[in-house]
């Protein structure tokens, strides 16, 4: 299975326009089925995302990230965003994508998309834990040049 993660291209514009604050506790992650087709270049708000997972132990809109943090390493010129791993306990669901977004009052049309992870294939839990284990380098990283 080849897991890949990509930033939505417009998230930088939204961050510079102060629409996104990565560390204030309002970044959420939601799960989507394989029927969702991410568009890195044109998807900008949560209302562009369809085919969200439905299942036991999962609440629509996903869950807020715990302990979000940003860091910059001067030795490598790498800036990264990270948070605690996410688990949906006692869940029964199937997901292909994890979509990270900044939740603005629960309004999909004004909640900017940040990044998404493609698990490479459907991942399933059956009355067990569905866990997203973030990479040791963080949820995403950006090299400043």
The DSSP call for residue 109 is G
pLDDT in tens, 4-52: 889 999 999 999 999 999 999 999 999 999 999 999 999 999 999 999 9
The pLDDT score that the predictor gives to residue 15 is: 92
Q: What is the C-alpha separation between 14 and 39, in angstroms, rounded?
A: 16
Q: How many residues does the chain have?
A: 145
Query: How many domains are contained in the chain?
Result: 1
The pLDDT score that the predictor gives to residue 145 is: 87
pTM exceeds 0.85, yes or no: yes
Q: What is the C-alpha separation between 130 and 28, in angstroms, rounded?
A: 16
With 0-12 / 13-18 / 19 or more C-beta atoms within 10 angstroms meaning exposed / middle / buried, residue 65 is buried
Residue 51: give the domain boundaries.
Answer: 4-143
pLDDT in tens, 90-115: 999 999 999 999 999 879 999 999 99
């Amino acid at each position: 299975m080849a897991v890949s993660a990509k930033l939505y291209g417009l998230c930088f514009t939204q961050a510079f326009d102060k629409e996104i604050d990565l560390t204030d506790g309002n970044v959420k992650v939601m799960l989507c089925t394989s029927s969702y087709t991410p568009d890195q270049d044109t998807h900008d708000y949560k209302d562009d995302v369809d085919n969200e997972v439905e299942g036991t132990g999962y609440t629509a809109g996903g869950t807020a990230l715990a302990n979000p943090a940003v860091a910059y390493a001067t030795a490598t010129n790498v800036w990264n965003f990270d948070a605690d791993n996410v688990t949906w306990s006692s869940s029964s669901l199937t997901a292909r994508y994890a979509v990270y977004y900044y939740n603005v009052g629960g309004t999909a049309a004004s909640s900017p998309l940040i990044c998404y992870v493609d698990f490479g294939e459907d991942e399933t839990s059956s009355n067990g834990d569905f866990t997203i284990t973030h990479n040791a380098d963080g949820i995403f990283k950006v090299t400043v040049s």
